[in-house]
Amino acid sequence: MSNNILIVIVVTSLATYLSRFLGVVSAEKIKETSKIFRWFNCLAYSTLAALIARIVIFPSGTLSEVDYLIRFIVVILSIAIFFLTKKNLVYPTLFSAMILSILNIYL
């Protein structure tokens, strides 16, 4: 059993770091204004948006016990804070965790 876990860790680590290495090597030749770079950027943002939407709409674990209205309020407030803080990601992230806890306890 422990040998299988070690093999899984090694294989997943190789896959992760190999793709990162290939990204670094190939990134030297890609201009930030090129169409392929913009396409990958859009792909990354759309994947992130889909994951966030899935977490908010179809959560699993403890988050599934939180009411939909509370989740949507937290998302809307976090987006507002994101733009108010000039697109800083730290403040809305911290705020969302705190406000979700507070609203879940008191509502």
Is the pTM higher than 0.95? The answer reads no
- Strand, coil or helix: 6: helix
CB distance 71 to 59 below 8 Å: yes
Q: Tens of pLDDT along 60-107?
A: 888 899 999 999 999 999 999 999 999 998 999 999 999 999 998 888
φ and ψ of 81, to 5 deg: -65, -35
Query: What's the CA dihedral at 56, 61, 67, 70 to 10 degrees?
Result: -50
Task: Give CA–CA dist 65/52, Å, rounded.
Answer: 17
